[in-house]
Structure 1
């Protein structure tokens, strides 16, 4: 990921927070047949290794797991993002030398990829993913709510993914390269947007 120094995020707590907050990631592998990419819900186990371990699962019919990766895999986690119009910049009125851009947060996790189909390990991954995304519901659904034989049949249709994180890259592009007046204009413009996601980004613009 191309990351100019002004936008680099090296804070481990910030990087992990972005990973935890991302509800859907993109899992990418390079292979001799070309790149493969699959959108997946993934979770981070912070108790394993220096940077943690990424877990998830793919459909067994997905060819990505059958083709040996060349080098490390890549999990891409996107945080808040918003379009930035040059109309919000004070510089527009001063010189007119402005162009549109996009503000966003992204984390790239790299590491060796392991696929597995052991039923016990798969069930643990499915349980943890389910508990993670059902946990905030008033009446959470649990895997154990489904008949055991049905669950076992479903497990036969998936393959587990384990990726110990060898390297993390973080990027937080929030108008840090603009003047204080331009940043204030971006924050005000986003804060007045009808999009909830834009208003969330507004709070991340440094003053």
Structure 2
């Protein structure tokens, strides 16, 4: 059990780094919640402990991208069932469509993943179940040239974390700490 705020902060940094790097990690797919109380599971792509920034990939045409825009409050919930640990992050999200970070994230993504941005915009209604991908890319990996139009739909969701709510479930008694710009404090679970 962690007894110091320094240990908790180090644990948070380690877990979020692992979550971004380990595809099968317990915290790899947190729940991201926008100000309209809409929640969705997203893949954590990167964690920068120095700037306290979480990075996700998103479609620039998605309704959440319009809602978040240049800055909006967001919540991100991470949970590790085995460790019995929950980390709630509150912060400000922003959508970034251009620049070196976006270009690097796009270049690092495999073609099979990038093909998602060739399809219809997220949330489009359909009379039948479908992926929204153009038929020629259903189950097929496009080449670099075929992916050129997809790049304009790709964006980053960057979340600058302003507070962490660290919650450890324990048979002997739960423990909870808040770490934010004001400092760190224990709170009852």
**Which TM-score applies when normalising by structure 2?**
0.56
Q: Alignment partner for residue 107 of structure 1, among 87, 92, 95?
A: 87
Matches within 5 A, 1:125-136: 125-126=105-106
Unaligned 5+ residue runs, structure 1? 1-5, 82-102, 131-144, 179-207
| Alpha-carbon distance in 2 for matches of 1:7, 1:175 | 15
Distance 1:151 1:174, change over 3 A: farther
CA RMSD of aligned residues (A): 3.3
| Alpha-carbon distance in 2 for matches of 1:146, 1:120 | 23
Unaligned 5+ residue runs, structure 2? 20-26, 111-140, 175-189
The answer for the alignment partner of 1:197 in structure 2 is none
Matches within 5 A, 1:105-184: 105-118=85-98, 120-126=100-106, 147-177=143-173
| CA offsets 1:73-122 (integer angstroms, 9 cap, x no match) | 111111124xxxxxxxxxxxxxxxxxxxxx82111122111101116432
| CA offsets 1:24-52 (integer angstroms, 9 cap, x no match) | 1111111xxx3222211113433542xx2
* Structure 1 ranges of 4+ moved more than 6 A: 6-9
| Alpha-carbon distance in 2 for matches of 1:128, 1:12 | 29
| Alpha-carbon distance in 2 for matches of 1:152, 1:119 | 16
State the number of aligned residues: 133
**Which TM-score applies when normalising by structure 1?**
0.52
| Alpha-carbon distance in 2 for matches of 1:67, 1:7 | 37
As a proportion of its length, which structure holds more helix? 1
